[in-house]
Amino acid sequence: MSRNWYSQGSKRLHQARIGPKLKQSIRTLAIIRDTSISAITEQAIQRYINKNKKIIRDYHLTLVSRGK
């Protein structure tokens, strides 16, 4: 990987670009589940992170092994 996790901080997560169709789906789920848009968004991100835990762990282990 050419990018480092610690160099990606210039753009805040809440500024991430989300397309109109995805925004509409998030709004719809918030209504159906009677919860906030923020809660739906956080749950979706958490599920994605959980699915990719091994990749994240391996990346950090690689950094540690290189002495960074």
Q: What is the pLDDT of residues 47-63, one digit of tens each?
A: 999 999 999 999 999 99
Q: Encoding tokens for residue 16? A: 């991430």
Place of tokens 């210039």: 10
What value does the mean pLDDT take over residues 34-59?
95
Q: What is the mean pLDDT of the chain?
A: 83
What value does the mean pLDDT take over residues 25-42?
94
- What percentage of the chain exceeds 70 in pLDDT? 75
How many angstroms separate the CA atoms of 45 and 43, rounded? Answer: 5
What value does the mean pLDDT take over residues 23-44?
93
